[in-house]
Every structure is written in structure tokens, then in C-alpha cells.
Amino acid sequence: MATFPSRYFDNKFDILLDRVPPIGKILSFIFGVFEYFILETLRFFDTKLNINSFGIANRYVLKSRWGGKVIPLNVNFDVETKFLPSQEILALLSRSKVTGISTCYCRETQRKHSDAPNCDHPINACIHIGFGKSLREIPYKSENLVKVSKNEIKQLIEKCDERGLVHQIIYFPNPSFYYVVCNCCPCCCVVMNNFLKNGSPQMIKSDFIACTDLTKCNNCGICEQHCNFGARKLVRKEFNFFPDNCFGCGLCVSKCPEKAITLKKAS
């Protein structure tokens, strides 16, 4: 089978990033610096020309190299689930060089250009990483793995989890390199909203899946209300699970009154 030049370049580029992580870190940092300007430019074209500028940019310019990957909170895991420090949000942040919390571009922009806010979720909810970070630098094993040193970061993550916000690392130039950790709502988040509306490839699943103990489930439907991805539905008052739609965010876990749901490693 013939290999298209663009795919050949993408493969070679990803191999280069894998072998020389500093290149990815620098590119991640540069993109993070200009992210606000890029998003504002795309929003301007959306508003003035009524086009799907994000979809066009992703297809012809970004080519799926920018987006978000879902990372859950460890309290939602099955007790037997073993996870790496790069697979759980607090463990990941504890190994990253956090520079501080800033305003969420998506919620701030929505409220700035609308008569009424879409939600009441906090604006100061984005956690910035110092110089871009590679997931390859997060150790697979570490005796010093501890909770996030900055208590306000931990409190923010837990507060956002209680609110039903999805934790994402925003990456560039591929999902291994991230520059900010966001707590996203489907009504405002650029990445999440575009995915839910257009099925854009800019949102990547976590490494986990939400499993339900049917002996505990009472078909109350609360998990359906908190699933943003259509993985959990009541059909004729009976619970149905669609695993292909599950992103493993874990929000349904903490909302289940019967404690019937846990996150397990996706096969």
C-alpha cells in the first residue's frame, strides 16, 4: 500500500519527537504562548464568516496535532486498578512544573460575548505548565510520588471533579506533549464542544473505561445525566452501556448513588 507524503512526514516527525523530546517541549511552549491569539483568530472567522474555522484549521493546518486528552481523578478508579503517574491527573501534576492557575479562555470568552453565561463553573480553572512537558518524562515508578504539592491545585481539581468538569491536558504537537491542564464543560470548551457537535478528532480518550456492576445498578439514570459522551443511556427504563462512546473521565463514578461504577483499564 502506498504511503502518502503527508502521512510519511507525520510518522517521521513523531519518531523525531520521540527520540528528541526537547523539540516537542519547545513547540508545545511556543504554541501555548500563541494559543490565545490563535483561538481568537478562529473565533473571529467563525463569527464573521459563519464557518467552522476550527474544523478547517484542524483539517488543513493543525492536522490533529492540537487538542485535549482526558485524564481522570484517581478516586474514581477500581481499587485493583494500577495506574501510571501519567494516567491520573493529580499524579501527573505532581511531576510537572506548575507555574500557576489562569482564567479559562473558553468560559471567559463565552461570558464576554454573550448576554448570559452558559454555566456557573469557575473561570480560574486552567493550570499552566512551565515549559511544556513530555509524558515520557513522567516516571513509570517513583518512590517519591506524592500528592500535588500546591494544595490549591489539588483543591481546584477536586472541586471541578465534584462539579462534573472533565479534566484534560491540552497538547501540541502530539498528545505526548502538553502545556496546560483544563477542567472543561461541554457548553463552553472549544475542544469538547467541537467534538460533541462535529466529531472532531481533537479529543482523545483516557486509558480507562467506566464499568458497571449490574447487581448494584438500580437503573436510576443519574449516570446518564452526567455522561457527556452518550456512553450511558436508559432504554425502556433499563441501563445500557455503549463502550465505544466512553472516554473514561470518571464523572459517572462519583455521581452514582449505588457506587456501582468504577474505572478500569481499557483493553
Write down the pLDDT at residue 149.
Answer: 53
What's the N-to-C CA distance of the chain in angstroms?
Answer: 28
Average pLDDT, the chain: 86
Specify the fold of 208-267: Alpha-Beta Plaits (3.30.70)
pLDDT band at 129 (very low <50, low <70, confident <90, very high): confident
- pLDDT (mean) for 223-238: 92
240 and 246 Cβ atoms separated by less than 8 Å: no
- Whether residue 144 is predicted with pLDDT greater than 50 in this model: the reply is no
26 φ, ψ (degrees, to nearest 5): -65, -45
pLDDT band at 187 (very low <50, low <70, confident <90, very high): very high
- Whether residue 110 is predicted with pLDDT greater than 50 in this model: the reply is yes
Residue 108 CA to residue 144 CA, distance in Å, equals 37
70 DSSP β-pair partners: 168
pLDDT band at 232 (very low <50, low <70, confident <90, very high): very high
DSSP-derived 3-state class of residue 247: coil
Write down the pLDDT at residue 6.
Answer: 64
Distance, C-alpha 31 to centroid of its chain: 17
Write down the pLDDT at residue 4.
Answer: 52
Query: Residue 241: which residues within 8 A CB-CB, separation 6 or more?
Result: 212, 231, 232
**Domain range summary for the chain, segments of one domain joined by +:** 16-204, 208-267
Cell of 125: 480553572
